[in-house]
Amino acid sequence: MKTQRLLRLVALTLSVSAFLAAPRAGAAENTLTDAEKAAGWQLLFDGKTWNGWRAYRKKAGEPIAGWEVRDGTLHCLPKAKGDQPITERKFRDYEFSWEWRILAGGNNGVKYFVTEDRPKSPGPEYQMLDDAGHPDGKIGPHRQTASFYEVLPPAADKPMRKPGEWNSSRIIVRGKKVEHWLNGRMVLAYELGSDAVKAGLARSKFKNEAGFGDKIDGHLLLTYHNDDCWYRNLKIRELK
């Protein structure tokens, strides 16, 4: 009897520990802490609606095709001929953070300094990719996760998580300096107009796109690449 009681106690203890360690779905997602509010952070997604967003090159209020708001996430639906959602507001100097998840072989990204006057190349992209499972990843690090897509690669030892797991990313723009962060680490820093950026652009498919990579007051854009992708906790803090 004592042995059985001990085993039940151990099982209960393990169950409680597992419960406490497990992530709580929606527990504090798409919300701001008091400290974040005091620091000037704003939510770009309330977890329930598309408020503050519209489809690229479409009017506010028109449906955003190929996406759904579900379970506190923005879910990019696969093979749905989808739109690219953009923020209604434009931003110049800011810290933008978000969490994202893709499946094996998946591809998505966030573009910034986005203009609607250059439809084929609206702005630089923070790439989000299954580096090992997507063809782009095999082309080189300049097309892999956290790169300035096609232009500059991220650090080789970036802390990337497996497909299906949540990653956290951040873009910081201050003056001419831009930083890409991944899972708590800065993995790419560059200066707009620098020799490194000019050389990267000259090698890229954007080399003939006038104004690409210039600092502007621009939208943020979520790309659509026919793959499942989930976003949550999209937050921005404007810098002065």
Query: Which structural domain, as residue segments, surrounds residue 190?
Result: 46-238
For 6-60, write each residue's pLDDT tens digit: 434 433 333 333 333 333 344 489 999 999 999 999 999 999 999 999 999 999 9
Alpha-carbon distance 156 to 95, whole Å? 23
Q: Does residue 95 sit within a domain?
A: yes
Q: Residues 162, 102: contact at Cβ < 8 Å? A: no
For residue 203, give the DSSP letter: H
The residue-averaged pLDDT of 178-199 equals 98
Q: Does residue 174 sit within a domain?
A: yes
pTM passes above 0.85: yes
Amino acid 40: pLDDT: 97
Q: Looking at the predicted structure, is the pLDDT value of residue 143 above 70?
A: yes
CATH number at residue 174: 2.60.120.560
Amino acid 73: pLDDT: 98
Average pLDDT taken over every residue of the chain:
90
Q: Within 10 Å of residue 210's Cβ, how many Cβ atoms?
A: 8
Q: Does residue 25 sit within a domain?
A: no
Q: Does residue 23 sit within a domain?
A: no
- Closest to 204 measured CA to CA, from 142, 114, 137, 132: 142
The residue-averaged pLDDT of 65-79 equals 97
What token pair was written down for 139?
């082309």
Structurally, the chain folds into a number of domains equal to 1
> Among the listed ranges 4-8, 137-141, 172-176, 211-215, which one has the minimum average pLDDT value?
4-8
Alpha-carbon distance 97 to 112, whole Å? 12
What token pair was written down for 39?
């620091």
